[in-house]
Amino acid sequence: MPKYISWALVVVAVAVVITTIYSIVDMLLQFDLVPLYMQVLWIAAITCIISLFIVLVIEKNKKRKEDEDDFSKY
């Protein structure tokens, strides 16, 4: 059960970050600081970076837990 809760938190965190990025880019568009086609590129790039970071953190925690389990056997 905690596994599903942690994944739900990850999904919520990604959704909040994407919404925040979209709001910032939308605000910049209102002041003509960013061309329209750049909006999609920025959101896609930042979302990919954040997703990679989250996956790396999850994998690192999983590996650490496996290492702790290995040590607890002895």
Asked if the structure places residue 29 within a domain, the reply is: yes
Asked if the structure places residue 6 within a domain, the reply is: yes
Asked if the structure places residue 74 within a domain, the reply is: no
If one counts the domains in the chain, the total is: 1
Q: How far, in Å, CA of 41 to CA of 44, rounded?
A: 5
70/74: higher pLDDT? 70
Q: State the residue range of the domain holding 34.
A: 2-68
Q: What is the pLDDT of residues 1-30, one digit of tens each?
A: 566 677 777 788 888 887 887 787 777 777
Neighbour-count burial for 1-16, b at 16+ CB within 10 Å, e otherwise: eeeeeeeeeeeeeeee
Q: What is the pLDDT of residues 55-65, one digit of tens each?
A: 888 888 877 77
Asked if the structure places residue 17 within a domain, the reply is: yes
Asked if the structure places residue 73 within a domain, the reply is: no
Q: For position 63, what pLDDT does the model report?
A: 77
